[in-house]
Structure 1
């Protein structure tokens, strides 16, 4: 159940996003008739907003925020198809604080020196006193070479590679998502620079990222529901608005049910992030992330149908939401993997 304070937080963030429409910005940076060309980039205005609002500090001890608080922000950025990885930034500040790097945590949380946090589940190997790894995909911020890179490994260790270090290489790559720029990092770190974190930190961080990306998808799905109901009440066919047709009513009702159920399921998963034991989080996280991905995909598909397919290409915003939802649902382990984990 959302609190009055969280509702105010959501309304404030929605108002800012309304004044600085992420999709308008994306299309203004694009090519012919608003067709996206190349990779998206994080809106510089959004980074200024982070600095002015302190969004990245929400989970720090001083701010005293919770994951339900962060989730309302994440949902609003999903609803607006924002390029800003707000959950990643907030989790990064929390992680740096946990590691005892108060200098980096404060600078990151204030927006004065925003760092990039990556996990390294792919290709991690030990060569003498050095560790080589390939990071999981992440949303890359502007000027990545000028940002400190914080690496969280599967064995609950943290490494900091300062800006300009030669032992890191960030590689952007194209995805279905046209609203955010994605990248991987190739890393080479000195094992002696390892900062030990509490056992289970890496597992908790991965769960938190997965849950908040699912929240982003459901925020996007809720926006698609709103737009679809509005369209169905305006579009006329055979002398009547299409929203009066029973089949269209059924589609809209199905969309509403899927969004509502996904929000409820994710609510339990968000609450479970307060639990320290991975075994206590596993079922609610896997169930919610799997259901939310499936529900958001279903809502996006029905939105396309009710709109008569006009969102099938980039001319319509539905196209951008559909692509974003698809990537969110697969970047942290798809529905099949989550369901397999539930029955294992």
Structure 2
């Protein structure tokens, strides 16, 4: 794949970066966090007006027909500003699951509204037992006449604050596999509990107590939702990794500037060789993280499903660990001021810690990579010459 940005992609990158630099200062973000919720409605409208919410949606449904590379470009710039608006949860996870699994009628109705910012849809798939992975699914959807009754819970639902509609993964007893259902946020029996994360953002835990939905609430076909769910999570993993790369870039820039201005022993501390070495280590980790994101994008464009899953797990694992290292080093090189709530560098580290827990932790993805590698090795023919016994 060619990862050089074309003219349209450079314009997209510039538009998002200008917005972050002009409108998303650290103080403005702090005010949004103090107010709670899911960010600013005015900012969300700006996202929609600039086409960022519809960038990767098909043209047939009001989108701009872009690719995951466009999603990564937007997410990377939003990561530089630690944006709290639910771009990942609503515009990527839920929207791409809908693109992959919805019927023509469902996509024709819902995607234009989502792309215009008029409807927020959130993906409710994670459960305490699944730890951010698509399976296992414990929520039950029992048949009840011409519909279903839902029992169970979902955790860490990103973009749920302010969402009007949920895509919920469930198990239907007579349909093996994962079934996705559309559930209105105000449906009777659905309770929502807002939970603050370590970086100041918010998610929700959902409890389904005999929640009734009609049969036409099924997204696509019953029992056939896992592939669509994996497609949404793949897009979300790419966006989250790109977001962390933007956060690492900004951390390195802030730290380099601080080392130029902070004086010690009559000289800028950036002239001290040991600190230069640590900055070099941070830059090296960032470069490896960029390469892993490129590898994941290339795999999604060219490989079969098992190789795609392995590439995504490898990228999620390595990039999350790199982000915690880079942002943690940023705090240390700032010294005591880096530990204060009033200074921005510590918030990048908090964001990296939270990102590691979302969409499956790095340990879970490392185990998935190991399992995939073992499967590949077992499938390879044994071509080594063997000694013939006398």
TM-score (norm 2): 0.79
Partner residue of 1:259 out of 279, 286, 303 = 286
Change (3 A) 1:88 1:140: closer
Structure 1: which 5+ residue stretches go unaligned?
Answer: 30-35
Aligned to 1:113: 119
Change (3 A) 1:128 1:274: same
The Cα of 1:244 is off from its aligned counterpart by 0.6
The Cα of 1:53 is off from its aligned counterpart by 1.7
Partner residue of 1:293 out of 311, 314, 320 = 320
| Counterpart Cα distance in 2 of 1:268 and 1:306 | 31
Contact 1:204 1:278 in 2 (8 A): no
Contact 1:207 1:285 in 2 (8 A): yes
Partner residue of 1:149 out of 163, 166, 185 = 166
Q: Secondary structure at the match of 2:39?
A: coil
The Cα of 1:85 is off from its aligned counterpart by 2.6
Aligned to 1:165: 187
The Cα of 1:242 is off from its aligned counterpart by 0.6
Partner residue of 1:14 out of 12, 17, 20 = 17
Q: Secondary structure at the match of 2:115?
A: helix
Partner residue of 1:174 out of 196, 217, 225 = 196
1:331 aligns with 2:358: yes
Change (3 A) 1:276 1:109: farther
Q: Secondary structure at the match of 1:57?
A: coil
Post-superposition CA distance 1:189-237 (Å, at most 9, x none): 5473323256512122223222321221221111000100111111110
Q: Secondary structure at the match of 2:337?
A: coil
Change (3 A) 1:246 1:131: same
Contact 1:42 1:181 in 2 (8 A): no
Partner residue of 2:205 out of 173, 184, 199 = 184
Aligned to 1:104: 110
Larger mean Cα displacement after TM superposition, 225-234 or 262-271 = 262-271
Would you say how many aligned residue pairs link Structure 1 and Structure 2?
335
Change (3 A) 1:182 1:258: same
Aligned to 1:318: 345
Cα RMSD after superposing both structures = 2.3
Aligned to 1:24: 27
Change (3 A) 1:137 1:277: farther
Contact 2:180 2:225 in 1 (8 A): no
Contact 1:22 1:43 in 2 (8 A): no
Post-superposition CA distance 1:247-290 (Å, at most 9, x none): 11011111111111101101111333346843121221111111
The Cα of 1:40 is off from its aligned counterpart by 5.3
The Cα of 1:153 is off from its aligned counterpart by 4.4
| Counterpart Cα distance in 1 of 2:181 and 2:199 | 29
Post-superposition CA distance 1:165-189 (Å, at most 9, x none): 11322211122111x2222222335
Structure 2: which 5+ residue stretches go unaligned?
Answer: 129-137, 172-176, 372-390
Contact 2:295 2:311 in 1 (8 A): yes
